[in-house]
Amino acid sequence: MNFVIQVAYFAAALLFILGLRQMSSPATARRGILWAGVGMLAAVLVTFFAPDVRGVGNYLLMFLGIGLGGGLAWWFGRRVAMTDMPQMIALYNGMGGGAAAAIAAVELVRGAPMSSATQVLAAVGALIGAVAFAGSLVAFAKLQRLLKSSLRFPRQRETNLAVLAFAALLGLLVAFTSGGHSGGMLFLFLAAAFVFGVLMALPIGGADMPVVISLFNALTGLAVGLEGFVLGNPAMMIAGIVVGAAGTLLTQLMAKAMNRPLGNVLFAQFGGDDATVAAEG
Amino acid sequence: MIEGFVALYIFMLAAIAGYEVISKVPVILHTPLMSGSNFVHGIVLVGAMVALGQAQTGLEQLVGFVGVVLAAGNVVGGFVVTERMLDMFKASGRGDRR
């Protein structure tokens, strides 16, 4: 069975890359998503038989979770108006980031045996995943008009950097505490990363959102790839890193298509620059 | 377990592959491709399933369960949304040819 699982993961990684390649050309785009879908189906199906997955209760939770998350996503994805697509991408992307953070949390709380380098990777992946989760939720809320104003305050860039540094410090503490965690420090770390994600996305205006969603998409990919390294799962590693790199390039291309340098989108509206703030207001 | 330099090689090659594979994408496909790559990182579901499968305490099960729910949303939602977008694409393409 182990061999079958490895073959399925290999096929999935290959199909993802070929699928993305076809998705970048109009004539073959539809075939591309189908190929990627077949790869995904194969990878998920064999994972039910993975040797390290055990426990009847866990299997029950797994089916319940997939049914719940998948069912709701399917229902909303079918119903949503075509013009509201960008925020749906943001929402689903954020869920992926949150899942990556959750994987790291389980592995670290469980005290899974891993080298300290792997523990750092797990913490970095959790940080990036939680930031992408929070940022994507803010992007979703803004495009969905649940959140109308753009929060701006003096010294915003410095404040954000301080929050990020605090989160990174907590992450290092978590990574270098060997053995299982009670959870307290870990969840404080994830909360700090979440706050940074919110702060990062809040000041960005609606028109720039697609570029930012693409950036969070790349970040989620990177987080997934890192958690793939932690779990030793090659399909996750390759798919995650490929999306991380492709998403980064796509973010640059989108910013260029809008005639806005990426730095402008992300930082132009942070504190100090009163001219921009006045012009926006 | 894949460790050390092998992991680095995989990282490097996958990053180059990702960069090259979409380097010639036309502007009109930017959003669908973003959605498609969003679906591809839904592979996180596989990891979430493994993490939940190994959970022992209630806390681990709870976090693992949340992870599986979120990841399943990423996969299914990502696929449905991309499919719908590209479907529209096909329809308009056919219209042009007529």
| Count of CB pairs separated by less than 8 Å, A with B | 355
pLDDT given at position B1:
57
Q: Tell me which chain B residue has its CA closest to the CA of residue A99.
A: B67
Q: Tell me which chain B residue has its CA closest to the CA of residue A63.
A: B68
- Give the tokens for residue A31: 């075939």
**Each residue's pLDDT tens digit, A114-165:** 888 888 999 999 999 999 999 999 999 999 888 877 777 778 888 899 999 9
Is this prediction's pTM over 0.80? yes
Name every chain B residue with its beta carbon within 8 A of the beta carbon of A239.
40-41, 43
pLDDT given at position A7:
95
Name every chain B residue with its beta carbon within 8 A of the beta carbon of A118.
3
Is B77:A91 a contact under the CB 8 Å cutoff? Answer: yes
Distance from CA of A188 to the nearest CA of B (A): 15
Of all residues in chain A, what percent carry a pLDDT higher than 70?
93
Q: Hey, how many other C-beta atoms are within 10 angstroms of the C-beta on A70?
A: 22
- Does the pLDDT of residue A267 top 80, yes or no? no
Residue B18: left if φ>0, alpha if ψ -120 to 50, beta else—which one?
alpha
ipTM value: 0.90
pLDDT given at position B97:
43
Q: Tell me which chain A residue has its CA closest to the CA of residue B61.
A: A58
**Each residue's pLDDT tens digit, A3-55:** 999 999 999 999 999 999 999 988 899 999 999 999 999 999 999 998 888 88
Distance from CA of A112 to the nearest CA of B (A): 10
Confidence of residue A191 (pLDDT cuts 50, 70, 90): very high
CB within 8 Å: B50 and A50: yes
Using the Cβ of A61 and the Cβ atoms of chain B, whether some distance falls under 8 Å is answered with yes
Confidence of residue A170 (pLDDT cuts 50, 70, 90): very high
Is A219:A197 a contact under the CB 8 Å cutoff? Answer: no
- Does the pLDDT of residue A203 top 70, yes or no? yes
Whole-Å CA distances, A89 to A45, A110, A253, B92:
24, 32, 18, 22
